[in-house]
Homo-oligomer: A and B are copies of this chain.
Amino acid sequence: MILESLVTTLNADGAPHLAPMGPRVEGKFERFTLRPFPTSNTYCNLLRHPEGVIHVTDDALLLAKAALGEVDPLPAMKAAERVKGFVLADSCRYFEFRVQSIDNSAERVSIDVEVVHTGRQRDFWGFNRAKHAVVEAAILATRMHLIPRGETAAEFEKLRIIVNKTGGPDEREAMEFLDSRLRGAL
C-alpha cells in the first residue's frame, strides 16, 4: 500500500526540508520503503543525516503546494522526539524513522526505513472526493511534461467538477493554485 505523505528531512544547515512522497507502507506502519529521485533534496539529506519524519495528512492544499515545491513559508513544526528532525504541527499522525538500508542500483533509489517513534495529533477528515481530486490534480501537475497537453487539461476539468461539488474553500484554493501553474506551463 502506498501512502501519499509528507516527509521532513534535515537540510545541511539544520533547517527542515519538506517534500511529498509516496512510500510503501510495510506491516502496521512499522517500516516504509521510500523511493526518492537520486537528484532530490530528500535523498541528499538522508545520505547526510539518515533520520526523518513521515506524516499522514489530510491537508490536500499543503500536499499540492509541496508537490510543486512552493511551500513558503513552511508550516508550523515542532522538534521530533526520538530522531533529529521535525514534525508538522498540523498533521494527523507521524512516524519518526531511521534509515536501515539504501539501494541505489536502479533509476529510483530505494530506502528502507524503520519507525522508531509514532505520534498522533488529530483525526483524518475521512473520505472526501475533493481532497482526493486535489491529490490526483497535483500528481497530474508534476507529470505535465509526460502527458499530452489536451489530456492534462481534460482530466483537470473533471477533477475540478468533483472539487466544486464536494470540497470546501481549501480544496478550491488548491485547484486554483494548481490551475495557475498548469496554465503557466502549457
Contacts and interface: CB of A to CB of B under 8 A. Distances in A.
A158 to B, nearest CB: 9
Interface in A55-107: 56-58, 60, 63, 92-93
A165 B2 contact: yes
Interface string A13-54: 000000000100000000000000000000000000000000
A128 B92 contact: no
Interface residues of A, number: 31
A163 B55 CA distance: 22
Given A132-B132, A166-B22, A127 B3 contact: yes
Contact of A128 (B4, B126, B129): B4
Contact of A3 (B128, B132, B136): B128
Contact of A135 (B60, B127, B136): B127
A63 B120 CA distance: 26
Contacts of A168: 1
Contact of A1 (B56, B93, B167): B167
Nearest to A155: B158
Contact of A4 (B4, B92, B126): B126
Given A1-B167, A2-B166, A92 B124 contact: yes
Nearest to A171: B1
Interface string A154-167: 00000000000111
A11 B28 CA distance: 37
Contacts of A175: none
Contacts of A167: 1-2
Given A3-B127, A92-B124, 16 more contacts: A1-B166, A1-B167, A1-B168, A2-B129, A2-B130, A2-B166, A5-B126, A5-B127, A56-B125, A56-B126, A57-B127, A58-B124, A92-B126, A127-B131, A129-B132, A132-B135
